[in-house]
Amino acid sequence: MITGGTGTIVQIIALYFYRLGLGYQIANFLSIETAIVSNFTLSNLWTFSDRRLLVVQIPGKFLQFNLASAGSILIQMIIAFMGEKFIGLHTLFIVPIAGINVDTGMTFPIVGILVGMF
């Protein structure tokens, strides 16, 4: 919860700064990736500190972590696109927060179902 919560804060702050010089969709994608890097780092340094990765494992594990996050990226990008198209950019932070909430609400049941199946 702390890692994910920190990732959410990182994503919102990163979006603000990326948005200063980039278009909304690119800034949103980069902010999601920044949060993924944050979550990967915190997960490995703190959450799963009992299972430290070797330096040579980090690139492969990060790629695996990023691929596992692909659904999250897709959900948030679709919601950001719809929000930008139908609501506008004046609600810069409401759309990503809605995307994070929808993504989290969909991810936990899906992971639960998959874990239960295997």
Full DSSP string of 18-33: HHTTS-HHHHHHHHHH
d(CA 95, CA 82): 9
Residue with tokens 């780092």: 41
Q: What's the pLDDT tens digit per position in 72-115?
A: 888 888 877 887 777 776 555 555 665 555 555 544 444 444 44
pTM over 0.75: no
**Which tens digits make up the pLDDT trace of 25-54?**
899 899 999 999 998 888 888 766 677 888
